[in-house]
Structure 1
Amino acid sequence: MPESWVNSAERVGADLHLQLAATGPRRAALARALREAIQDGRLGTGVRLPPYRSLAADLGLARNTVADAYAELVAEGWLTARQGSGTRVAERAVPAKPARLPKKAATASRAPAHNLLQGQPDASSFPRNAWSTSTRRALAAAPNEAFGPGDPRGRIELRTALAHYLARVRGVRTSPERIVICSGFSDALRLLFGGGVLRGALAVEAYGLAFHRALLAAEGVRTVPLGLDDHGTRTEELAGRRAVRAALLTPAHQFPLGGPLAPARRNAAIDWARAGGGVVIEDDYDGELRYDREPVGAVQALDPDHVLYVGSASKSLSTALRLGWMVLPERLVDPVLATKGQRERWTSVVDQLTFADLITSGAYDRHIRQMRQRYRDRRNRLTAVLAERAPHIEVTGIAAGLHAVLRLPPGTEASTVKAASWLGLALDGLAGYRHPDADTPPLDGLVVGYATPPDHAYAAALDALCQILPAMP
């Protein structure tokens, strides 16, 4: 059965993909193909068909053949034809059967009753109106070349906006030429280590995301843990790690324990990188979201040639946006671009242009200020409820970000996490974040994502949290 596309530039109506029998009367073959397209849902109710002259030209048929086929389907009730409205698919008594879902899709896991998982901003807080306004404005202003083959660095509009914004808000020292747009922190790690831009072992914090460790292990990267204490990551330990060529740190707000990196240890990391030609990878995942004081500036400002700064919109806007950026030492720009390569790895141009407009218009600053107030209130409610109902549970770390760590009595974490599961409360214990080779003593605690629940569900989530906490020893 030959396949034919109906795509005349002059016709009005839906694009069609029809299969006409190779033998037999052409009118009957066309009528049968149209019936099948209606029956299987490819032509839905109310869809306008091309004028018979256009369809005849596209299929290489006589005009009368198409006109007769249309007339036959109108008479049978498949189509309707009205003056000025064209020929359309008629309302039908029996709708097309829905596609059968795979068995696995029908058995999707049930959502938790209360969600306090970390790393997820309140989805209802996404600035839909501002994003929509910026999209319209950015598309209207975008040059035609923006929608052709582009620069693997990312759109110049966004890189320029980020260079100014990061300098103003985080103290980052850079130019648009040293910024490369990516789809988030995980993508940045793959670009840096998957393509061999950075080689050798990687020093990481004793507590961090197991997902990142697994991603690095899949790329053949050995991770070496650095100790942690009340002053942050023990960066002085870098001097004794001879195989380490790069160090991954979360200096503004250690993840997940929540403390900032002390000034002396910031300097120690820079001194180590300079002495051996190493690189500090600064994960500034929520640096804008500090609530008790002005955010501490980025470590990158101390030495842009030895610090690789990574940020994203996943905490400030949405995890679904998949939009991040790397501020690179100059010597690493070309190797990263060579690794990035194929355009399939590039972030949507429309999202880049929209985010650039959101920044330059001031809407992003306004959104950040609103989120600071919202999440500050969320954290304050958490600490107030705990002070009243579980005063023996300590909330650790600085007032920042989207999560807090609750320290538990030794030996109680596993049972508390199990109790949370029974109650339908989704949250994490600290054990899953500890590096398996860490020398830092294990800590018992819960990682509570206070930003995740919508406003109407937050009180119930806090009540469930208090129910599962261990009693005072």
Structure 2
Amino acid sequence: MDWAAFGVDLHLELDASTGRRAGLERALRDAIRDGRLAPATRLPATRALAAQLGLSRGTVSAAYDQLVAEGWLVARIGSGTEVSPLRRTAPAPAAVRPGPDAPRYDLRPGSPDLGTFPVTAWLRATRRALAAAPPAAYGYGDPRGRVELRTALAGYLGRARGVLADPDRIVVTTGYVQALALLVGVLRDAGRPVLAMEDPGLAFHREVARRQGGTVLPLPVDAHGARTDLLGATALADVAAAVLTPAHQYPTGVTLAPERRRALTRWARDRDALVIEDDYDGEFRYDRQPVGAVQGTAPEQVAYVGTAAKTLGPALRLAWVVLPARLVEPVVEAKRHLDLHSETIGQLALADLIDGHGYDRQVRAVRRHYRRRRDLLLGRLDAAGGRYAVGGVAAGLHALVELPADGPNESQVLAEAARHGLALGSLGRHRHAPGGHPQGLVVGYATPPSHAYPGALDALARVLPTRPAP
């Protein structure tokens, strides 16, 4: 029997005690009743199924005819035999807790405008990459990622972000979260699990670090960025790594001051510590000169992490980490035992996009798009009579709107926004510990699709009072 010749596989359990034809009929009924054969599923031809089951073709034809007569199957000339669209008794679905309803307008931070994904350019890059890829590209690969992408990234990061990157020191990961988890896991295995993370900062990233065995301590942030001058103080004496967003701190939007940068790299050298640089929103700048990566000043103390999630789209799951020499081998081994390597086709397409400068064109296009959005947001807030101080808008994809002390607090504003179908981020949710902090909103002006953005701004204007509360 040449089993490779069957084009449609059909698994049936036949009960020989009931007779061949009756057993086949019962097996087909059970498969349809249980939902294993869905409506409109095409069945194998009678000759093929007979050969597969060791039955005569006449037995299979008779069984099909009987089930057609009973309404279980439908036979069409030229189309074969299919499961009737009216016959299905599937198992009851498992109880699933319903999630929250999606808001009508979403101004929460963390997501780009998904409509800016360069579909045409990506298709062209994918076609070119597949046409040029050797057969080995479709096999299991290097845990570091495809050399084509690592080489392209080394050139781009050096040119655009001031990163000193060698292709052999780059590891392609499945998003920023995986890069952070790999680094924390390597530190944990080395007996150095204590990390300092910005306060305020993204709570989810703190949870990622803790799930990898890390101990997280808060590193305060002020108008000049993270308080790197506090690293090495008594409360932070055991810290072996600091996770920062120096170019555009999330969520305050401030840039790490030069003296703070120097204090950071000096601490890392003196303590043999690691800086994990999250280049969040690094490419998006509007009213200021570009700020280079910290990694360029201390490549042996900094692990630089970048991602295509905001410039292209989160669905690609493409990120990269540029490592100090001492961490290359342990991170590669950790990646090898986690998922072996990240998917390959997207890597090849991104490499082509970078080499052909399509990635640069995409960055410029979305930078202009988000600047226009930012300006519209600032215009709406100015219309409130200067009541709200806004920070972090010289770059990035979000704005920090400070709430005045004589008005509603965060909880009240969020509740009012929900009544208007609007979702917002709040500064308090990013704190390591609640209470005792200034109140504010984190407004992600990149999130809504283009058609919904004006309505989202209208809803925001209705939610934010323009006069002091009585």
TM-score, structure 1 as length reference: 0.88
2:86 counterpart residue number: 94
Match of 1:150 among 136, 141, 152: 141
Match of 1:177 in 2: 168
Distance 1:407 1:108, change over 3 A: closer
Residues 333, 184 of structure 1: alpha-carbon distance in 2 compared, 3 angstrom cutoff = same
- 1:392 aligns to what SS in structure 2? coil
Partner of 1:417 in structure 2? 414
Match of 1:133 among 124, 128, 131: 124
1:50 equivalenced with 2:44 (yes/no) = yes
Supply the distance in 2 between the matched residues of 1:37 and 1:420 (Cα, whole angstroms): 50
SS at match of 1:309: strand
How far has the Cα of 1:389 moved from its partner? 2.7
1:23 counterpart SS class: helix
The alignment partner of 1:228 has SS state of strand
Q: Does 1:381 align with 2:376?
A: yes
How far did 1:345 drift? 6.4
Deviation of 1:64 after TM superposition, in Å, equals 4.3
The more displaced of 313-322 and 43-52 is 43-52
Name the residue aligned to 2:237: 242
What pairs up with 1:285-296 in 2 under 5 angstroms? 285-296=280-291
Q: State the partner residue of 2:12.
A: 18
Residues 240-279 of structure 1 correspond to what in structure 2 (within 5 A)? 240=233, 241-279=236-274
Distance in 2, matches of 1:94 and 1:86, equals: 18
- Paired letter, 2:179: A
**Matched residue of 1:115: which SS?**
strand
The Cα of 1:431 is off from its aligned counterpart by 1.2
Distance change in 2, residues 1:267/1:464 (3 Å): same
Stretch moving more, 58-67 or 375-384: 58-67
**Correspondence list, 1:223-238, <5 A:** 223-238=216-231
8 Å contact kept, 1:179–1:326 = yes
Displacement, 1:67? 4.5
2:331 match: 336
Matched, 1:34 2:28: yes
In structure 2, give the amino acid aligned to 1:417.
L
Amino acid at match of 2:19: P
2:427 counterpart residue number: 430
Question: Does the 8 Å contact 2:34/2:90 carry over to 1?
Answer: no
**Closer, same or farther: CA 53–379 of 1 in aligned 2, 3 Å:** same
Mapped to 2, the partners of 1:86 and 1:254 lie a distance apart of: 60
Amino acid at match of 1:162: L
Q: Check whether the contact 2:184–2:193 (CA below 8 A) recurs between aligned residues.
A: no
2:318 is the alignment partner of 1:323 = yes
| Alignment CA distance shift 1:223-1:43 (3 Å) | closer
Q: Which moved more, 1:336-345 or 1:449-458?
A: 336-345
Distance 1:357 1:28, change over 3 A: farther
Match of 1:167 in 2: 158
Distance 2:67 2:398 in 1: 62
Counterpart for residue 3 of structure 1? none
Tell me if the contact between 1:10 and 1:54 (Cα under 8 Å) persists in the aligned partners.
no
Q: Name the SS of the counterpart of 1:153 in structure 2.
A: coil
Q: Quote how far apart the aligned CAs of 1:378 are.
A: 0.5
SS in 2 for 1:271: helix
Decide whether the 8 Å contact of 1:46 with 1:88 is kept in 2.
no
Which ranges of structure 2 fall in alignment gaps of 5 or more residues? Answer: none
Bigger shift: 17-26 or 266-275? 17-26
The one-letter amino acid of 1:247's match is A
Q: Unaligned stretches of 5+ in structure 1?
A: 1-5
Distance 1:346 1:369, change over 3 A: same
Contact 1:390/1:466 (<8 A) preserved: no
2:110 maps to which residue? Answer: 119
Deviation per CA, 1:94-151, whole angstroms, max 9, x where unpaired?
Answer: 243566444435x442111221100111122222333333333333333222232221
Q: Is the 8 A contact 1:152 1:343 kept in 2?
A: no
Please report how far the alpha carbon of residue 45 of structure 1 lies from its aligned counterpart in structure 2 after TM superposition.
Answer: 5.9
SS in 2 for 1:149: coil
| 2:374–2:393 CA contact under 8 A, matched in 1 | no
For 2:85 and 2:181, how far apart are their aligned partners in 1? 53
8 Å Cα contact 1:379-1:399 kept in structure 2: no
Deviation at 1:447, TM superposition (A): 0.3
